[in-house]
Amino acid sequence: MDGSYLTVTPLTCTDSVGVPYEVVLELRRDGTPYGMVGERCGWVLARLALGVAAARAEQGGCWVDPDDRFPGEGPETELFAFRCRERADVAGGGELRCLLRTRPIWIQARDRPAPGEWRLTRRAIVEAWGAGGLGLRAVLTSAQLGEFLGELVTEVERCLGEGCGEPVRERGRNPVEGAGTSRRR
């Protein structure tokens, strides 16, 4: 809403001899550091990306629209929650999480005598919180979440394959952008 955007950049975690083995996510809000989250989260991201793709490909079920199909059956499911990098880090040093929300939408009838009907939709709510308590939020369809996760996993694999010690290049704006800000309560 306010034109802000979130950049999520994987950085490698290295072992004692400098070999990359996993990633941590650097969050930037409008290019300014926002937090470091998700120590060793690459495997979780890859597994979730596969889960979103599989859920979208399912035929039948209670969700007719593929944009409403996500892994997890509960109405309010948390798909991931990445907080500060390590247990020793100060709480509130950043957070990135994704929750599923089910909400009704009124569809006005066209070409029918009935006034309309309620339709249930599911959306992924991706939230990022910085150390200062200012938050960003985006509402994504399963296609948008799948695109975001796919690009992030590709970047993680590239980073681990090449051994990135410095932040990888910032790509253009991603699907989790321009979502507006709010104060965490």
Task: Assess if residue 148 is contained within a domain.
Answer: yes
3-state SS, one letter per residue, for 27-39: EEECCEEEEEECC
CB neighbours (10 Å) of residue 114? Answer: 6
Strand partners, 136: 128, 181
User: Phi and psi dihedrals of 126, rounded to 5?
Assistant: -100, 125
**Looking at the domain assignment, is residue 136 inside a domain?**
yes
What total of structural domains would you count in the chain? Answer: 1
User: Helices (H) and strands (E) in the chain — how many of each?
Assistant: 2, 8
- Judge whether 33 and 93 are in contact, CB under 8 Å: no
Q: For residue 46, how far is the Cα from the chain centroid? A: 12
DSSP β-bridge partners for residue 33: 28
| Assigned domain for 99 exists | yes
Is residue 43 in some structural domain? yes
- For residue 1, tell me if it sits in a domain: no
At residue 115, the pLDDT reads 81
Which residue segment(s) compose the domain that 142 sits in? 6-183
Q: What pLDDT, on the 0 to 100 scale, is given for residue 148? A: 95
Does 116 map to a domain?
A: yes
Closest CA to 102 of 120, 86, 119, 129: 120
pLDDT digits (tens, 9 = 90+) for 76-87: 889 999 987 555
- Give the mean pLDDT of 33-54: 91
pLDDT tens column, 88-119: 555 556 899 999 998 888 888 777 677 888 88
Q: Within a domain: residue 11?
A: yes
